[in-house]
Amino acid sequence: MHTAASESAFDLTIKRNCSISPQDLLYVLAFVSCVSLGIAAGFAYLGAWPVLPFAGIEVLALTLAFYLNGRHAADYERIALAGETLVVEASDAGRLRRQEFSAPWLRLEERRHGPDLRVVLRFGSAAIEVGRHLDTERRASLAAHLRRSFSNR
């Protein structure tokens, strides 16, 4: 969690933890695909040709999984409080959602779902969950930080 805070405002940016770059992920996919198709081609050469279509299906399924994972690699949430306005931006698979709330009327809700904690910002009927890319302990820390920031108003 990246935090830039001053006395009267704060700006939090929460990003997904991606341990491999998209380019490296592409290299891994190419390597695994070549190995799988190479083994299948060897078996097809020896007469077990039905292995080849299944290897093709395997490579397609793996490519789809890598693609879906890659779409979310740049997901983030940004929570910024300046003056009386709280701005929440959430990028999910390239779609940007931005909501602005009047800080004095904002309610912070912490909901437990078993061991999991969800932090929800509510303004009237509008609500947005924040901290989706954090573990439960860090979500609790985020909720405490937001509560302190709102109580200082």
What is the maximal distance between C-alpha atoms in the chain?
76
- Based on the fold, state whether residues 86 and 137 are members of the same structural domain: yes
- Based on the fold, state whether residues 79 and 145 are members of the same structural domain: yes
- Based on the fold, state whether residues 82 and 8 are members of the same structural domain: yes
In CATH, what number is assigned to the domain containing residue 125?
Answer: 2.30.29
- Based on the fold, state whether residues 35 and 85 are members of the same structural domain: no
- Based on the fold, state whether residues 52 and 95 are members of the same structural domain: no
**56-76, pLDDT tens digit by residue?**
999 999 999 988 888 888 889
Q: How many residues belong to the chain?
A: 153
- Based on the fold, state whether residues 11 and 40 are members of the same structural domain: no
Look at residue 125 and tell me whether its pLDDT is greater than 70.
yes
Q: With beta carbons less than 8 A apart as the criterion, state whether 133 and 13 touch.
A: no
CA gap 45, 74 in Å, rounded? 42
- Based on the fold, state whether residues 47 and 106 are members of the same structural domain: no
- Counting the structural domains of the chain, the total is 2
- Based on the fold, state whether residues 79 and 6 are members of the same structural domain: yes
Question: What confidence category does residue 3 fall into, taking pLDDT thresholds of 50, 70 and 90?
Answer: very low
- Domain encompassing residue 36: 22-71
**For 105-116, what is the mean pLDDT?**
85
For the beta sheet containing 85-92, the strands, ordered from the edge strand earlier in sequence to the opposite edge, are 2-5, 10-15, 76-82, 85-92, 95-102
- Based on the fold, state whether residues 90 and 110 are members of the same structural domain: yes
Residue 39 pLDDT: 96
- Based on the fold, state whether residues 38 and 113 are members of the same structural domain: no
Look at residue 107 and tell me whether its pLDDT is greater than 90.
no
State percent of the chain over pLDDT 70: 92
